[in-house]
Amino acid sequence: MPRADQATGEGSRNDPPSPAPGRTAALPLPPHLADRPFTIAETRAAGIPDRVIRRATTNGGLRRLFRGVYVSSDVEDTTEVRAAALALLVPAHQIVVDRTAAWLHGVDTFPRAELTFSPPLETCALRGNTRARLAGVRGRTRDLAAGDLTSIAGVRATNPVRTALDLGCALHQRDAYAAMNRLAGSHGFGAADLAVHLPRYVGRRGVVQLRALVPLVDPRPESPRESWTLLELLAAGLPKPELQYVVAEDGRYYRLDFAYPAQRVCIEYDGAEFHDLTDRQRRRDEERRGWLRRRGWTVIVVRNGDFTGDRLPRWLSEVRAALSEGYSNRRW
């Protein structure tokens, strides 16, 4: 199942989710269902009532991947498991595209609200064929070249580059940019690899946004909200910072999300709400930032709610003022 931590920009990119405290262990299943995705039809055939599946999903014993498709909570979230789930659902002659293709490639782009009800399966038929018209499947028709496609464990899908381009058109700007960066980081391509395909998108809905985003694609942001932060810095006309900049002084080693080393200015995205931090984590963050400030760094912290209302221009103004002061004073 696409994970809430990735959908909102928190947590590791690849680690499978851990059951929440107090939740039950994985539901005991027949051997032929225990280590792979399965459908409700299969559990009914095995004599497991639907209410047991619903309760296990609520309690964390099962993960719901798509409508009617589940997997035991102790099965690792891997590309092979994701492909096996899709193989149960993808209609014949259909190709997995857009957010479902990104999910297959290890990048979750589904918003938290959709996770509650299971995300739709997004597929397309090649031009001239009939699109899928099934419950829980969002079918489209699309022109795709052979070079746009890949196959993973028998599931046909758009490849990571094509998926990034499609999402650059289809998603809202920040989410599109985050998805493109994460696919680039996970699959080893960059802006130039995307740019060569732009002529094929002439006339497509969303192409204006896509053209604006492609030159900005950078594989280094480590969470969606880090991509949001970078996009807002660039949209505000600020210089592009150095990403994942390492400060190594006095036996200390810190890696900063964004840095302007010459001006001693850094920006960090802090995805955790303050009340969610342990005392140890809070002290560690405060100590690290204090250490940087004592050595002349201006540390600007961007948090989850800082992308709306008057909070966005506020921290951007802080960055602009800090850079201006850094340029003029050169106090270090």
Burial pattern 241-272, b for ≥16 Cβ within 10 A else e, equals bbbeeebeeeeeebebbbbbeebbbbbbbbbe
| Tens-digit pLDDT profile for residues 152-206 | 988 999 999 999 999 999 999 999 999 999 999 999 999 999 999 999 999 999 9
Distances (CA, A) of 184 to 5, 201, 202: 19, 19, 22
Return the higher-pLDDT residue of 73 and 92: 73
d(CA 172, CA 186): 21
Evaluate if residue 141 carries a pLDDT over 70: yes
Alpha helices of 13-140 — where are they, by DSSP H? 40-45, 50-59, 79-87, 98-104, 112-117
Q: What pTM value is reported for the model?
A: 0.82
Tokens 């050595």, residue? 295
d(CA 82, CA 253): 37
Return the higher-pLDDT residue of 332 and 110: 110
d(CA 218, CA 220): 6
Cα Rg of the chain, angstroms: 22
Neighbours of 160 (CB within 10 A): 24
Neighbours of 136 (CB within 10 A): 15
d(CA 6, CA 97): 19
Helix (H) or strand (E) holding 258: strand 252-260
In 3D, which of 263, 265, 323, 276 has the Cα closest to residue 303?
276
Q: Which pLDDT belongs to residue 89?
A: 82
Q: Which backbone phi and psi does 301 adopt, to 5 degrees?
A: -105, 125
Q: Which pLDDT belongs to residue 244?
A: 95
Evaluate if residue 14 carries a pLDDT over 50: no
Asked if 139 contacts 123 with a C-beta cutoff of 8 angstroms, the reply is yes
Residues 6+ apart with CB under 8 A from 216: 177, 191, 230, 231, 234
Distances (CA, A) of 274 to 9, 89, 254, 331: 16, 41, 21, 32
d(CA 111, CA 7): 5
d(CA 106, CA 104): 5
3-state secondary structure of 121: strand
Return the higher-pLDDT residue of 312 and 4: 312
